Amino acid sequence: MSRLALYPGSFDPLTNGHLDVIARAGRLFDRVVVAVLINPAKQPWFTAPERVAMIREACAGLAVDVETFDGLLAELARRRQATAVVRGLRGASDFDAERQMAQMNRHLHPDLETVFLLPAPEVGHISSTLIKEIVTLGGSVAGLVPRAIEARLHERREGVGTRHV
Ligand code: PNS
């Protein structure tokens, strides 16, 4: 039986921390699907199709599918017959919210496991929110996101001016 893992998130934008988790998941599962949430309640820097395109480019050469989803993650997992949901756990501050989400997904889909992966220490401080804050304030995010995404962030900042993240 082929074991498929979903790696869901906002990915606004994908970071080197996400890439580290994707590579680790790829070594554990037969297929990894990066599932980009379409969340009408949020105002992302990048549209869902833009995020998908950036992730596909960054993951070129890896055996990874990238798609969007809306609605419940548990329902996507059912449709895709996923074995597990993968989430990166950077530290204790991530844990409570992640535990709650994992328990709720287990309630909605008792056969679905959530697997937490610890990113490499050199990327454990990266978050999409901090990346956008640094770019907004004119700092460098080199080495924290893939080069193509770094360029897109600077373009977007120039296009949109200062904005809340
Ligand atoms: O990158 P993020 O923003 O931390 O990812 C959060 C995500 C997409 C994993 C979470 O918001 C999610 O799964 N949303 C889908 C809606 C859903 O299933 N809600 C109930 C989850 S307990």
Residue 151 lies in a domain: no
DSSP letter for each residue of the chain: ---EEEEEE--TT--HHHHHHHHHHHHHSSEEEEEEE--TTS--SS-HHHHHHHHHHHTTTSSEEEEEE-S-HHHHHHHHT-SEEEEE--SHHHHHHHHHHHHHHHHH-TT-EEEEEPPPGGGTT--HHHHHHHHHTT---BTTB-HHHHHHHHHHHHHH-S---
Kindly give the distance from the C-alpha atom of residue 48 to the centroid of ligand 1, in angstroms, as a whole number: 14
Residue 25 lies in a domain: yes
- Is 90 marked active-site? yes
Measured distance CA(106)–CA(113) in Å, rounded: 7
Measured distance CA(42)–CA(55) in Å, rounded: 19
Query: Is the separation of the CB atoms in 105 and 141 below 8 Å?
Result: no
pLDDT, tens digit, for every residue of 60-86? 989 899 999 999 999 999 999 999 999
**Which residues, at least 6 apart from 23, have a Cβ–Cβ distance to it below 8 Å?**
62
Residue 97 lies in a domain: yes
Of residues 24, 51, 87, 90, which has the active-site annotation? Answer: 90
Q: Compute φ and ψ for 137, nearest 5 degrees.
A: -90, 10
Residue 112 lies in a domain: yes
Asked whether residue 24 carries a pLDDT value surpassing 80, the answer given is yes
Residue 62 lies in a domain: yes
pLDDT, tens digit, for every residue of 126-159? 999 999 999 999 999 999 999 999 999 999 999 8
Atom nearest to 87 CA in ligand 1: 9
Residue with CA at minimum distance from ligand 1 atom 13: 73
Q: In the prediction, which pLDDT does 142 show?
A: 98
Tokens standing for residue 154: 């600077």
- Total tally of structural domains belonging to the chain: 1
pTM of the complete model: 0.95
Q: In the prediction, which pLDDT does 159 show?
A: 85
- Is 2 marked active-site? no
Residue 16 lies in a domain: yes
Strand order in the sheet with 31-37: 64-69, 31-37, 4-9, 84-88, 113-117
User: 108 in ligand 1 pocket by Cβ < 6 Å?
Assistant: no
- Is 18 marked active-site? yes
Banded model confidence at residue 1, pLDDT cuts 50, 70, 90: confident
Please name every residue paired with 10 in a beta bridge, in sequence order, or none if there are none.
none
Q: In the prediction, which pLDDT does 83 show?
A: 97
Which is nearest to 51 in space by CA: 157, 162, 152?
152
Q: In the prediction, which pLDDT does 160 show?
A: 58
- Is 24 marked active-site? no
pLDDT, tens digit, for every residue of 91-115? 999 999 999 999 999 999 999 999 9
Q: In the prediction, which pLDDT does 78 show?
A: 98
User: 119 in ligand 1 pocket by Cβ < 6 Å?
Assistant: no
Q: Residue 53's domain is classified under what CATH number?
A: 3.40.50.620
Atom nearest to 11 CA in ligand 1: 1
Query: Which structural domain, as residue segments, surrounds residue 34?
Result: 4-124
Residue 19 lies in a domain: yes
Banded model confidence at residue 161, pLDDT cuts 50, 70, 90: very low
Kindly give the distance from the C-alpha atom of residue 101 to the centroid of ligand 1, in angstroms, as a whole number: 8
